[in-house]
Each structure stands twice: as structure tokens, then as C-alpha cells.
């Protein structure tokens, strides 16, 4: 989806009001270095999450919008669902931005490519299946003697060092 550039509160309210979906607003400034650094991440997210409104607001051009959302640092990302602010990120933290878009959109990029139960490599049983091991997916059959030996070696070395 394309990124909308908003210059007034009326424009933003019109965009949010007509669609009840998640809107992510990037409050930025042309002189802000961190804003420029995170811009490619915001652009990529807008292409990956087509069901989300992505909006950019230049705080110098749309001061009323920045004031409404109490923007005090740049970049600031405000997440709005319906008409409610559900999350805010201050600073250029791309990992948090990406995970928050995924969380609040209810969408997972790539999930459609990996739908289904999945299978364990080698034996063809489904992930989480207890068909191959009656003790369940968290058993330590073959690994237990190795783990016990390593613990014993650690204790021995700690006692005689």
C-alpha cells in the first residue's frame, strides 16, 4: 500500500474515519537524521502489510497533528485502531516498529506461505505429534546421558580447579 502524506488534522481524521483498520503514523522532520534512517523500514512495512494504513506527518508542516498526538521526539510512531491510540514508539527502533505492526495488524508477513501443521524432518510425523515418542515433544531420550555427562564433568572441574 502507498504511504499517505498528511498535512492537516482534517485530512488525518478523514482517513482514519472512513476505514476502521490499523493506521500507523510516522511523525518525522526533514532535518531529523534518525527519521531518515528508519524511513526505508517504514516503506518496506507499507509494502508488506497492505491491510494497514501507513501515514507520514512532517511535524514542521502539520503542527496541529503533532500537538494532538503529543509528539515530543522524532521519529514517533503512533498506532491507531479505529479512533483509539493503541501503541506509541518514540525513536528509530526498527525491530520494535516491525513487531508492533505485525502485532497490532493481526497479520503475519510470510504466514500465508507457511500455513499448515508442519512436519518433523526425517520421520514424516507432524510437529507436536507424540506418535514417534510416547513421552511427547519435550523428551530427552538420547540427549540425557550426554547432558548428565557434561554436568558431571563441570562439577568435577569445579571441585578440582
Closest to 26 measured CA to CA, from 83, 104, 91, 81? 91
Give yes or no: 32 in active site: yes
121 to each of 4, 90, 111, 127, 161, how far by Cα in Å? 45, 42, 20, 9, 42
Please identify which of the residues 35, 52, 80, 101 carries the catalytic annotation: 35
The span from the CA of 48 to the CA of 41, in Å, is 10
Let me know: does 79 contact 22? Beta carbons within 8 Å: yes
Q: Whose grid coordinates read 500537538?
A: 67
The span from the CA of 38 to the CA of 26, in Å, is 10
Please identify which of the residues 6, 24, 25, 32 carries the catalytic annotation: 32
Let me know: does 101 contact 49? Beta carbons within 8 Å: yes
Give yes or no: 35 in active site: yes
Q: List the catalytic residues.
A: 32, 35
Amino acid at each position: 500500500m502507498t504511504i499517505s502524506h498528511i498535512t492537516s488534522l482534517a485530512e488525518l481524521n478523514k482517513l482514519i474515519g472512513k476505514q476502521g483498520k490499523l493506521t500507523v503514523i510516522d511523525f518525522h522532520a526533514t532535518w531529523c537524521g534518525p527519521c531518515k534512517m528508519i524511513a526505508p523500514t517504514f516503506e518496506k512495512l507499507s509494502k508488506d502489510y497492505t491491510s494497514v494504513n501507513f501515514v507520514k506527518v512532517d511535524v514542521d508542516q502539520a503542527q496541529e497533528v503533532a500537538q494532538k498526538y503529543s509528539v515530543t521526539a522524532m521519529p514517533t510512531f503512533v498506532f491507531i485502531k479505529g479512533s483509539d491510540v493503541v501503541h506509541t514508539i518514540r525513536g528509530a527502533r526498527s525491530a520494535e516498529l516491525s513487531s508492533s505492526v505485525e502485532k497490532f495488524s493481526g497479520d503475519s508477513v510470510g504466514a500465508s506461505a507457511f500455513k499448515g501443521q508442519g512436519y518433523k524432518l526425517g520421520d514424516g510425523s507432524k510437529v507436536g505429534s507424540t506418535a514417534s515418542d510416547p513421552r511427547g515433544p519435550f523428551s530427552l531420550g538420547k540427549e540425557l546421558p550426554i547432558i548428565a555427562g557434561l554436568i558431571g564433568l563441570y562439577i568435577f572441574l569445579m571441585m578440582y580447579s
